Structure 1
Amino acid sequence: MYKYGVADRLLRFLLPVALCLTIYLYLYPLFHGCVFPATHGSTTSSLIDTVRRHLPFDHAIDASSNSLTAPFRLLALADPQLEGDSSLPKPDDAFIPTLRRRWAHLSATGLHDVSPFLELAREVVLHDVPEALGALRKRIDLFGNDYYLGHIYRTLHWWTQPTHVAVLGDLIGSQWVTDAEFEWRGWRFWNRVFAKGHRVEDDIALLDGEEQERIFELGDASWTTRTINIAGNHDIGYAGDISRTRMDRFERAFGKANWDVRFQYPRSNATLVAPEVVATSHPSLHLVVLNSLILDGPALSDDLRSETFDYLNGLINHRLRPVEDRSSFTLLLTHLPLHKKEGTCVDAPFFDYWPDDDGGGVYKPHGMREQNHLSEEASHRGTLQALFGMSGDRDAPAQGKGRNGLILTGHDHEGCDTWHFVPAESAWSTSEDQHEDKRETLWDVSKWEQANQATSHTGVREITLRSMMGDYGGNAGLLSAWFDQGEGEWKYEIRMCGLDIKMWWAVHVIDLVVLGLSLFSLFTHRLHLHLHARSGTGSRVVASPHDVKTTK
């Protein structure tokens, strides 16, 4: 009875705690104010609008809330890095095989002396058992981490109702894993973390010709379950060790590494463009997925590098809108951040190269082994000038201001928010400059919160998304983009949302304890009732003969 009473009192205390914590965990976006920014209005109005969309009578308020809801809402996640066998003991080093080897060795040396038994017991207790417990803890950690990451995706997807989802690279934890391990981590990715999501189909990513363009309407519901996966260095490697085999297995599991698609306002919404705004085409958002890991060489596969540059040339020459077209917005999704001077972000510029040998053919001698950023050449000429059309030359098309857009990257787990720009004082006019052939665009970068766009000739924002791993707070980005009919150009806003992994574990541990106490309490209640019933029946059976005797 004492044990039963303690368990019951503990349950009465823990049950409301567990209930409150569980409600918090499964509604954490509501408590954290995690919502997509509205086209206009405060965070409060965005939150109210999101709550309304979950009400059973939301159809009655659609007309009033649609004006606040951005037509393009991207749930952006970075660097989940699913670990696996590389963080666990090898099968031959597991507890049972190790124990068998120790026993075989002991048997071979003879069983005549007790000291070998004591030495064996000492090794098992002090070495093997702790290692086995550590491996078990790691297995539980890997299992729980999958569902922690899955909880972030599932809860935010349900609550915020994104139109698109993207993972900015490093889907798994190592490019050196075997094909079997890669497939296992891919299965975990699609069945535990991004359950009910699926890769972008090849018939969308592959074009019949460079001039062909895939166009979907904003609001196409089929994109809500597609997951746009960007290739990271832990998925395929760096340029010096990216092989055709690695690229093929990544694309089979997660989708193509280089592709682009355009999302446009429905034709019925053409009135969004103000009459006084001259637009060369229908308002649209151009989403570009780029494998930036192979832009800087030397590369192991020259063919793969050539294919990437061929893709870029086709994109630039045929599918990008003219720089003067303000009705188009370019959203670049890639893994490696652009070049920045040291101190701008946590990761400073860093490049490392493989040694003279080829490692048995697995990497390129002197090839790119590791890099924190793209090189200055790939960042400035290859991205800012080629893709975004930005220049310091005021006589260039659109005065060199380039395309309106945004860059989202991963890789730097701490995250960073920067403004790449051409200082106004460095811009020039070829018609006035006698040495225009020698002039080159000068680029600078600053943290976004310190940026002074008034002193910039032109620029573009790059957001390096903080990792969604538990060590970095389970971060997610909520990006809204819309076409402003008044100004005749695209606008965007992004917010971050996180979930502490310690809270996730704590809630589930408390829930398991409450479940265990509930079962124990139920069992003891039933046992107590059963024993009480038996004791009552026994008393009546014993008393019956006595009553008969008394009667006689």
Structure 2
Amino acid sequence: MPSLYSVLSPLLCILTVVSILSTTGLYIYPLLLNCSYPNPNAPFRLLTLADPQLEGNTSIYSSRYASSPPWIRSLRRFRKTLDLWGNDHYLAHIYRTLHTTVPALTRLLPFLPQGMPSPTHVTVLGDLIGSQWISNTEFNSRGNRFWNTVFPTARRLPPRALTESGRIPKTIYPLIQWPYTLINVVGNHDIGYSGDIRPDLIQRFEETYGPVNYEFTIPFPEVNVSKSVDGGPPQNITINPTLRVINLNSLNIDSPARDYDIQMQTYNFMNKVFSEDINWDGSVATVLLTHVPLHKPAGVCVDPPMEKYYEPKYGSLLREQNHISKGASDMLLGELFGIRRAGEENIGEGKEMGIILTGHDHEGCDTVHWFGKNDEEQKKEGEEKTWKSAKWGDRDGRVGQGEKWVREVTVRSMMGEFGGNAGLTSAWFDEKTMSWRFEYSSCPVGVQHFWWTVHIVDFITMVLAVVVGIMAAVGADGRKKVPKVVVTKANGSSKGIKEKKVQ
């Protein structure tokens, strides 16, 4: 009958190989999946994360199990506590791998694919925690986990970086370490919808994660081009490419709102952004970061348009929504991307005016919004143009030639249930078209069960290695020892030699 050692030893060899391969794959998964920024050399590379939704003691001490026997409640609490611990480290693994590990590895080893440099900026598109109805103590606890476990190398925006108008001055922008500063967007699970938002909910979010409304501009090196003006001879023209990033609280744009003053703070911020003097020749583009997606017809994304309201006795306040309203969407598209501000005819053909990045719909969605008439067979002479929406993949058959469009990416959630997704956004100024270009790609790590399995196998391998090592050390490996012979001499001569076997 084979000994226990003879069984465990080859098993350890097999587990060691499996552990090394699976752990290596888990920690360099972007390279194995060929993840890459669409343009790794772009001056603006945004690591785009959405909806981590950290849970806490409300899931550990659920009232659903109050009538269960004490040992069942204790067992479930232990399991849920372990689950939350693992979920935090799973989310941290996504951020650490894409932000630090793989970029550092590709810098050290030039022969590796070079599509994953360090991001220039990082954003989390709302729903940082799982519920707006938790106590301040629990809110602070989840905030500590967010900063110390999930994003341990990151920091919030410095409180004094903003002016009263919600702008980061150009003199302050270069002083901020943007690769390590999270642009945190507020979500409905952080402060609620328009009918829920209270001043104290806004205050505690801003104290922990940063402001809910602000913008900043990113200047880039001047571009000198030779261009003919009004049909005359070519002239040397200097272009100043600029990217403006807007973090917008879209949760209280629609009404009825619980707190009018808080809603007006968002509208005052939007009006200041709308009134800015922008050069709409393509040299300036906008990146809009917000939580609730813009309005689009049913069938374009997984979540259709939906709005729910509280009962009339509670003021019929806005309780829930999948998209912001059609009117609010048209307002943002027209004002932020130039159609309403400058007029369609003043925006050059083929020039991308920006990109919209949203969260909320955990499944993710890729959309094109364009300013045009209905489909070709329905177009009529003199028909007024409006904002339309369709799947990004259908744009070639829907968007007419010369019609202005903006891409919206609803980033799939980074939660394990949705594959641990992360978005990779590139923006760069194209000197051929004299306008900005935006591209987006995804990089999912896989469901959280894969992360758990790899680390459980690692743990079992280490325990087995210790057991096998101890067995070998104490002689439980089943190998027969050869007795040692000790030779001694009597009186210093070769006579009277004595032999002694030592077992």
| TM-score normalized by the length of structure 2 | 0.83
SS in 1 for 2:339: coil
Q: Could you tell me which of 96, 113, 137 is aligned with 1:180?
A: 137
Distance (whole Å) between structure 2 residues aligned to residue 262 and residue 393 of structure 1? 20
Contact 1:279 1:327 in 2 (8 A): no
Q: Does 1:482 align with 2:428?
A: yes
SS in 2 for 1:261: strand
Distance (whole Å) between structure 1 residues aligned to residue 425 and residue 151 of structure 2? 19
SS in 2 for 1:133: helix
Match for residue 42 of structure 1? none
Give the Å deviation of 1:280. Answer: 8.1
Match for residue 299 of structure 1? 257
1:434-485 deviation digits (Å, cap 9, x = unpaired): xxxxx86422111000012334621211000000000101111111111112
SS in 2 for 1:314: helix
Match for residue 450 of structure 2? 503
After superposition, residues 28-177 of structure 1 pair within 5 angstroms as 28-38=29-39, 69-89=41-61, 127-158=69-100, 159=102, 160=116, 161-177=118-134
After superposition, residues 529-544 of structure 1 pair within 5 angstroms as none
Q: Does 1:418 align with 2:367?
A: yes
Give the Å deviation of 1:281. Answer: 5.8
Unpaired runs of at least 5, structure 2 = 103-115, 229-235, 488-497
Distance (whole Å) between structure 1 residues aligned to residue 344 and residue 312 of structure 2? 47
SS in 2 for 1:263: strand
Give the Å deviation of 1:139. Answer: 1.3
* AA partner of residue 249 (structure 1): R
Which stretch has the larger CA shift, 150-159 or 212-221? 212-221
Contact 1:393 1:400 in 2 (8 A): no
Match for residue 281 of structure 2? 325
Residues 91 and 73 (structure 1 numbering): CA distance in 2 closer, same or farther, change over 3 Å? same
After superposition, residues 319-468 of structure 1 pair within 5 angstroms as 321-322=278-279, 324-358=280-314, 365-381=315-331, 383-391=332-340, 397-398=346-347, 404-424=353-373, 441-452=385-396, 453-455=399-401, 457-468=403-414
Match for residue 522 of structure 1? 469
Distance (whole Å) between structure 2 residues aligned to residue 229 and residue 499 of structure 1? 22
Contact 1:238 1:368 in 2 (8 A): yes
After superposition, residues 221-300 of structure 1 pair within 5 angstroms as 222-265=177-220, 269-270=221-222, 272-276=223-227, 282-300=240-258
SS in 2 for 1:188: helix
* AA partner of residue 202 (structure 1): P
Q: Does 1:215 align with 2:170?
A: yes
Match for residue 314 of structure 1? 272
Residues 467 and 354 (structure 1 numbering): CA distance in 2 closer, same or farther, change over 3 Å? same
Give the Å deviation of 1:493. Answer: 1.2
Distance (whole Å) between structure 2 residues aligned to residue 354 and residue 402 of structure 1? 43
SS in 1 for 2:408: strand
Q: Does 1:472 align with 2:418?
A: yes
Give the Å deviation of 1:295. Answer: 0.1
Contact 2:350 2:402 in 1 (8 A): no
Contact 1:420 1:445 in 2 (8 A): yes
Give the Å deviation of 1:421. Answer: 1.0
Contact 2:219 2:243 in 1 (8 A): yes
SS in 1 for 2:99: helix
Match for residue 24 of structure 1? 25
Match for residue 459 of structure 2? 512
Residues 403 and 488 (structure 1 numbering): CA distance in 2 closer, same or farther, change over 3 Å? closer
Residues 235 and 404 (structure 1 numbering): CA distance in 2 closer, same or farther, change over 3 Å? same
Distance (whole Å) between structure 1 residues aligned to residue 325 and residue 452 of structure 2? 40
SS in 2 for 1:495: strand
Q: Comparing both structures, which one devotes a greater share of its residues to helix?
A: 1
* AA partner of residue 413 (structure 1): H
SS in 1 for 2:308: strand
Give the Å deviation of 1:386. Answer: 2.0
Give the Å deviation of 1:275. Answer: 2.9
Q: Comparing both structures, which one devotes a greater share of its residues to strand?
A: 2
Unpaired runs of at least 5, structure 1 = 39-45, 47-68, 99-122, 359-364, 434-438, 541-546
Which stretch has the larger CA shift, 388-397 or 172-181? 388-397
Distance (whole Å) between structure 2 residues aligned to residue 129 and residue 530 of structure 1? 40
Q: How many residues align?
A: 458
Contact 2:282 2:347 in 1 (8 A): no
Contact 2:156 2:210 in 1 (8 A): yes
SS in 2 for 1:412: coil
1:480-537 deviation digits (Å, cap 9, x = unpaired): 1111122211112111000112221111010000011011112222222899999979
Residues 393 and 304 (structure 1 numbering): CA distance in 2 closer, same or farther, change over 3 Å? closer
1:313-349 deviation digits (Å, cap 9, x = unpaired): 111113x513x23111100000000011111110011
Give the Å deviation of 1:426. Answer: 9.5
Contact 1:341 1:348 in 2 (8 A): yes
Distance (whole Å) between structure 2 residues aligned to residue 241 and residue 389 of structure 1? 32
Distance (whole Å) between structure 1 residues aligned to residue 238 and residue 349 of structure 2? 18
Distance (whole Å) between structure 2 residues aligned to residue 129 and residue 397 of structure 1? 71
Distance (whole Å) between structure 2 residues aligned to residue 497 and residue 407 of structure 1? 19
